[in-house]
């Protein structure tokens, strides 16, 4: 029998009764649903627990936090699964590309293991680079790319892992204003095209406005919609 939460958005991201506590202090206590293709922004003061919430969804929260609550993605409860089985992609403000791998090597790292054929893997990588406007960059050393180019490789790496949801943790904050707006549009377009429920943490109201989606503020541990 499906739960009420999965009935609301069977293919979205659903958080129900999620409460994260650190050293006896409640960081957040909330319910949240992100529909497929929707981009929800999460704002709030520094230290409010926004990144911790993303870590909870991914299953990568550091020891020391106490958590309860349930997380569903595409109708599957993922909150008890190991991180690699959750199918959640996360993008940080640092691109975190592996410096010892080529651009193509970085992308290959993300490909699901069931894509085995060398030709098929190469095709997927070339396709991703084409979408990112980086055709022919597969053999380049990431250190020779501009910040914006590296950022686009990082997005394609996340998307190539075939995530069922996308989490963005201030991914635009290191980019200058012009690049920031271009790159933001690029990421949002990819998220919508792949119909991914997307949850973005940011301090920048412009990022929030650009989504056209709901904006949630974490205030006094609770999620409040603007
Ligand atoms: N690995 C960790 N171990 C212990 N405490 C941590 C760890 N990571 C974060 N914290 C603490 O958890 C609290 C919430 O941090 P978190 O990074 O989730 O906040 P945030 O809202 O994302 O802040 P910011 O907007 O500054 O990024 C803070 O008090 C922080 O010091």
Query: What are the pLDDT digits (tens) for 91-101?
Result: 988 878 999 99
Q: 212: alpha, beta or left, given left = phi > 0 and alpha = psi -120 to 50?
A: left
- Mean pLDDT to the nearest integer, 1-7: 45
H or E element at residue 146: none
On the question of pLDDT at 220 being above 80, the answer is no
Percentage of the residues of the chain whose pLDDT score is greater than 90: 67
Question: Which 8-state DSSP code applies to residue 157?
Answer: H
For residues 195 and 39, the answer to whether their CB atoms sit within 8 Å is: no
Give the domains, in start order, of the chain with CATH numbers: 4-87+163-225 (3.40.50.300), 100-161 (no CATH)
Residue, of 224 and 23, whose pLDDT is higher: 23
63 lines ligand 1 (CB under 6 A): no
Quote the CA–CA distance of 48 and 76 in Å, as a whole number: 28
Q: Which residue do the tokens 């707006």 mark?
A: 181
Mutate to test the pocket of ligand 1, among 18, 19, 22 (most ligand atoms within 8 A of CB): 22
Strands (E), the chain: 13-22, 25-34, 39-43, 65-73, 76-77, 88-92, 165-169, 198-201, 215-219, 222-225
- For residue 217, the model assigns a pLDDT of 92
Please give the pLDDT value at position 145.
94
pLDDT digits (tens, 9 = 90+) for 148-176: 899 899 999 999 999 999 999 998 887 88
Whether residue 50 has its Cβ less than 6 Å from ligand 1: yes
What is the spatial distance between Cα 159 and Cα 90, in angstroms, rounded to a whole number?
A: 9
Identify the CA nearest to 38 among candidates 188, 186, 160, 164.
188
What SS3 state is found at 70? strand
Residue 26 Cβ inside 6 Å of ligand 1? The answer reads no
Ligand 1 geometric centre to CA of 128 (Å) = 33
Measured distance CA(93)–CA(136) in Å, rounded: 25
Q: Which residue has the tokens 């202090």?
A: 25
State in Å: Cα 211 to ligand 1 middle.
25
Closest C-alpha to ligand 1, atom 7: 62
d(CA 104, CA 202): 29
Query: Per DSSP, which regions of 2-159 are E strands?
Result: 13-22, 25-34, 39-43, 65-73, 76-77, 88-92
Write down the ipTM of this complex.
0.95
Our answer on whether the CB atom of 48 is closer than 6 Å to any ligand 1 atom is yes
Determine which residue's CA is closest to atom 9 belonging to ligand 1: 52
Residue 202 beta carbon below 6 angstroms from any ligand 1 atom: no
Binding site membership of 46 for ligand 1 (Cβ less than 6 Å): yes
């Amino acid at each position: 029998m499906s739960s009420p939460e999965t009935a609301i958005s069977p293919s979205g991201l659903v958080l129900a009764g999620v409460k994260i506590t650190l050293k006896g202090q409640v960081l957040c206590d909330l319910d949240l649903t992100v529909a497929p293709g929707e981009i929800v922004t999460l704002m709030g003061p520094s230290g409010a627990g926004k990144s911790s919430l993303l870590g909870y969804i991914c299953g990568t929260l550091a020891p020391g936090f106490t958590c309860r609550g349930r997380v569903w993605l595409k109708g599957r409860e993922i909150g008890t699964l190991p991180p690699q089985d959750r199918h959640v992609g996360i993008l940080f403000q640092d691109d975190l590309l592996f410096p010892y791998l080529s651009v193509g090597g970085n992308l290959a790292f993300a490909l699901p293991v069931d894509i085995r054929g060398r030709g098929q893997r190469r095709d997927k990588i070339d396709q991703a680079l084409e979408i990112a406007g980086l055709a022919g960059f597969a053999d380049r050393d990431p250190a020779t790319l501009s910040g914006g180019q590296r950022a686009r490789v990082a997005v394609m790496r996340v998307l190539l892992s075939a995530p069922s949801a996308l989490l963005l943790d201030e991914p635009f904050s290191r980019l200058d204003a012009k690049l920031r707006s271009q790159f933001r549009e690029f990421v949002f377009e990819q998220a919508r095209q792949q119909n991914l429920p997307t949850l973005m943490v940011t301090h920048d109201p412009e990022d929030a406005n650009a989504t056209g989606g709901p904006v949630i503020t974490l205030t006094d541990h609770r999620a409040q919609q603007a």
